Structure 1
């Protein structure tokens, strides 16, 4: 996969007005998709934010 192919979905969902109000969704091949169970786990996401805030 090259950079253009990798950016295609991001550009696709960032451009049209129908996606402007969409937040917190995952996309694959330009269409909304369910994110993984781990991404919905509050303890996992809290830990990620803690590590990102203090990488030392």
Structure 2
């Protein structure tokens, strides 16, 4: 994604509260910021998850 809704400062405050991290086994935490940005995109657009752009 070329631009994010969250600034780096906002993400820095949220990141410690996100479960999972890249070193955890499985899919959880592979990119928490991208997941949060996807959720924000859904909220902003009102689109269903199936319409989520592939960039997310």
Structure 1 or 2, whichever has the larger Rg, is 1
TM superposition score normalised by structure 1: 0.28
Q: Normalising by structure 2, what TM-score? A: 0.28
Q: Quick one: higher RCO (CA 8 Å, sep 6+), 1 or 2?
A: 2
